[in-house]
Structure 1
Amino acid sequence: MLLLRLELPNVPGSLGRLASAIGAAGGDIESIEIVEKRADGTDVDDVLLDMVDGAMPDSVVSACNAVDGVRVLWISRYLAGGNLFPDLEVVESLTADPTRALDVLVDALPVAFRCEWAARLADTGSGGAIEHATEGAPSAVDLRPGSGTERQAVGDDLVAVAPMADGRVVVIGRRGGPEYLDSEIARLGHLVALAVSIARAP
């Protein structure tokens, strides 16, 4: 299964032309999610797809780029569960067991954000202890001090950081890309704040 992140015009028919191009190149679309709507009239979408036997990912990329106004931003293998994971499903998992909401959030973030790992740290300093992390997270996450939700780099990983208002932070990491969009940064901050509220509820 492949995950394709692309930019396309927000005009009638553009999604249909894109789907036709992907199908003609040997791709079978499983799901599509709008990641960001931009002021310039374009959308950034994540497309999850399978390849028919013998079809190559390069052919899908070429077919997409040949559609007027479409630009492929990223393509990678996608093994994290085989479907896109809407934020509503994350929220449902948090409310199912409020006492574990902070751990459940960290566990859900790699699938929700199509990234490799997530962790909750005691603080942002170089000695910040990892309180909870998913498989694949580095053993140490050295962050520069920040004042809010932001992008950083940890070694070769691109990370997004969201504070928890008590000195702790939640971090998600991607190896090699794509860079986190403004909409993803905002989503992370919202989900972290929601998890904190749920965990505090009586």
Structure 2
Amino acid sequence: MLLRLRVSLPDQPGGLGRVAKVLGTLGADILQVTVLEREAGRAVDDFTVSWPGATSPGEVRDRFSAVPGVKVEGVWATREMPGSAPDYDLLMHVATEPARGLATLVDALPMLCGAEWSVAYCDGAVRHASLAAPDLIDLPEPPPRAATLDTEKLRLMLLPVVTHGLHVLVARAEGPVFHRAELERAVRIVDVVSTLAARARTPVIDPQNHG
């Protein structure tokens, strides 16, 4: 199974090696490392690993508890295959069929963001939902700018889509809170896709026939 581990560790030589050694003793194969943060002498990295058999977040944390300075912030299942380029695939789909750009974006964001589902909503009503979205959703008050929000059960990202006058909500029940690096990446993706989709709704005027 594919898992993503978010690990906070001292930003010093040998830090990644210690994490890799623990994962190796557990039989996990590291497929990808994503750097989220480097500041104040610490680093936050996401490890995508192939894990033999079933495991639990508690088991992973127990193994890392003996490593000085290392903290496991989250462990959750992922569907994103390392080496793939789902963000480029999304842009290609939208460029090919921009009229469906918003729906394509909502469908793609869960995989892109390591989440489980997403919806686009406006005026308290869902306009489009990804496949795994629940039937009943407590829609939060839309913020004026992109933000994260944590409830008792869910980690949320709220992303304004100014060109369409609505918001996209991205949710995951497992794993840690959304990191600011994840939020910034999602904002860039939404901006590009919404711009392409908005152009599809704008009529093209031939200047030779205008007037």
In the superposition, the TM-score normalised over structure 2's length comes to 0.78
| Corresponding residue for residue 70 of structure 1 | 70
Q: Secondary structure at the match of 1:143?
A: coil
Distance, in Å, in 1 between the alignment partners of 2:94 and 2:45 is 26
- Any residues of structure 2 matched to 1:137-148 within 5 Å, and which? 137-139=133-135, 140-148=137-145
Q: Report how many aligned residue pairs link the two structures.
A: 196
TM-fit CA distance, 1:84 = 7.4
1:129 aligns with 2:100: no
Over 3 Å counting, the alpha-carbon distance change for 1:90 and 1:43 in structure 2 is farther
Q: Flag the 1:85–1:111 CA change in 2: closer, same or farther, 3 A.
A: farther
Residues 158, 84 of structure 1: alpha-carbon distance in 2 compared, 3 angstrom cutoff = farther
Q: What do residues 32-66 of structure 1 show as CA deviations (whole Å, max 9, x unaligned)?
A: 222x2143233322222233369876554334343
Which residue is 2:4 aligned to? Answer: 3
- Rg larger in 1 or in 2? 2
- Matched to 2:197, the amino acid is A
Residues 83, 164 of structure 1: CA spacing in aligned structure 2 closer, same or farther, 3 A cutoff? same
1:33 matched residue in structure 2: 34
**Residues 48, 84 of structure 1: 8 Å contact kept:** no
When residues 54 and 73 of structure 1 are mapped into structure 2, their CA distance, relative to the original with a 3 A threshold, is closer
The secondary structure found in structure 2 opposite 1:151 is strand
1:164 offset after TM fit, Å? Answer: 1.0
Please, which of 170, 176, 179 is the counterpart of residue 172 of structure 1? 170
CA-to-aligned-CA distance 1:46-100 (integer Å, 9 cap, x gap): 222233369876554334343343210011233x254476544543443343232
Larger deviation, residues 161-170 vs 133-142: 133-142
Counterpart of 1:110 in structure 2: which amino acid?
P
Q: Which runs of 4+ in 1 moved over 6 A?
A: 54-57
- Counterpart CA distance in 2 for 1:164 and 1:173 is 17
CA drift of 1:142 comes to 1.8
Q: CA deviation digits over 1:113-143, x for unaligned, max 9? A: 11110111124xxxx2211111221333421
- Give the corresponding residue for 2:182: 184
Q: Which amino acid aligns with 1:195?
A: V
Q: For the Cα contact (< 8 Å) 1:118–1:171, is it kept in 2?
A: yes
RMSD: 2.7
Distance 1:57 1:154 in 2: 20
User: CA separation in 2, counterparts of 1:58 and 1:155?
Assistant: 19
Residue 168 to residue 85, structure 1, CA distance change in 2 (3 Å): farther
The structural deviation recorded for 1:172 is 0.2
Q: TM-score, normalised by structure 1?
A: 0.81
Structure 2: 5+ residue runs without aligned partners? 201-211
Give me the identity figure in percent. Answer: 30
d(CA) in 2 for partners of 1:117 and 1:54? 23
- 1:201 match: secondary structure: helix
Query: In structure 2, what is the Cα distance between the partners aligned to 1:52 and 1:161?
Result: 34
Q: Which amino acid aligns with 1:121?
A: Y
